[in-house]
Amino acid sequence: MEKILDRFLRYVAVDTQSNEDSESQPSTAKQLNLLNMLCSELNAMGVEAVVDEYGYVMGTIPSNIGKAVPKVGFIAHVDTAPDASGADIKPQIINEYDGGDIALKGVPGLALKPSEFPELKHFIGQTLITTDGTTLLGADDKAGVAEIMDAVQYIVSHPEFKHGEIKIGFTPDEEIGRGVVKFDVPKFGAEYAYTMDGGEIGELEFENFNAASAKIHIQGRNVHPGYAKGKMKNAILIGMELNALLPVEQRPEYTEGYEGFFHLIGFNGSVEQADITYIIRDHDRALFEKKKEVILECCRFINGKYGEGTATPVVRDQYYNMREQVEPHYHVVEKAVKAMEMAGIKPKIQPIRGGTDGANLSFKGLPCPNIFAGGLNFHGKMEYVSLQSMEKASEVILNIVSLYAES
């Protein structure tokens, strides 16, 4: 049986970065390299699995008990975020972490420091897998992928392990908000499911941000600077002015818990024209709608000052808070809590300051809370994961399966 660490290292070696500017499904063909690999591995283990035309892997482990119990699914995404390179990943393995700084490459003096990331102290004595400082790691969400595959390997290798029908799903493009846009929930066949896509051990989430993107085109007017008085409209400066209209205290670096934010993620341009990109987040639906209106009001102000058509916004919803869909089926949360307690883990129920495939799946009729996968500092060069957390996540999957078998 392959160890979960070896499995994880194999998966992160495959470049699966998604691309929000692509209109294809999946957004990048390279994601299919891992999706096809996973499908083949499931089939090799005796699990009937297919990859559909959109890149979704769906597999089924038949029940081995003589009664009808709910069909439960486990889902993880294979893509890595566009925020940092996902190619040529060279993980560092830190055995028996001593609580000190972990040196990284790339920039002189770059390191994972407990003084900056105090959560590192939680992992003293454990095995950490980190980046080398030049790429992200891909624990988001290849840790979840490895945990699900590790649990599958255990189930098929231990016929004495009693379980109902189990559904396995792997998806592309979660990081760009399109992870389950074309996911066929009836075809998947689960009644309840869990995404293995959370952070630190013990995290359990059934509420997430409402999310939207905002892309604003600024049309300026370039005139020779020597003769520009009263004529030039500098799109860069106008874009900066628009950004300054947004509330500073509602930026990500100043928010926590249930507080939402406007996050400037892209600014490209010249005097003639510029493009600004934001993501908008809030757990409260009314505050979320208000934030979208604030963006539009800022554009109206700019157009009133510099002329109609100066600022052209496109605001698109991405996903919504799953809480309203999951709460009527709260037993799915209770089973996850009990499964963690069975593994000696203290559950930490908290809102996701982000989103998962489970949010959109819940709105498609598949209640789908999110469980920890063990990684931290996602989307960047400071990402890391604990081996012991991954092992516990796999154990939690098996415990959930057992609890449904007892239903």
Give the residue numbers marked as catalytic: 79, 174
Q: Which residues contact 62 (CB under 8 A, 6 or more apart)?
A: 165
- What H or E segment, with its residue span, contains residue 279? strand 273-282
Structure token pair of residue 299: 């554009």
Structure tokens belonging to residue 184: 């066929």
Cβ-based neighbour number of residue 313 at 10 Å: 19
Non-local (6+) Cβ contacts of 229 within 8 A are none
Residue found under tokens 């699995």: 49
Q: Do residues 101 and 112 touch, judged by C-beta distance below 8 A? A: yes
Contact (Cβ atoms closer than 8 angstroms) between residue 389 and residue 212 = no
Q: Where do we find the tokens 């004529």? A: 231
Residue 75 contacts residue 170 (beta carbons within 8 Å):
yes
Q: Which residues pair with 213 in a beta bridge?
A: 279, 316
Could you tell me the strand order of the sheet in which 384-386 lies? 92-94, 128-130, 384-386, 375-376
Residue 242 vs residues 175, 269, 271, 282, 311: alpha-carbon distances, Å: 27, 14, 15, 21, 9
266, 275 contact by CB (below 8 A): yes
Q: Give the up-direction half-sphere exposure of residue 200: CA atoms within 13 A in the CB hemisphere.
A: 13
Integer Cα distance of 249 and 271 in angstroms: 29
What is the distance between the alpha carbons of residues 241 and 70, in angstroms, rounded to a whole number?
A: 55
390 contacts 209 by C-beta, under 8 angstroms:
no
For 203, what's the count of Cα atoms within 13 Å in the CB-facing half-sphere? 23
DSSP 351: -
Cis previous bond, 26, omega within 30:
yes
Name the one residue in this structure whose structure tokens are 């760009």: 176
Residue type, 90: K
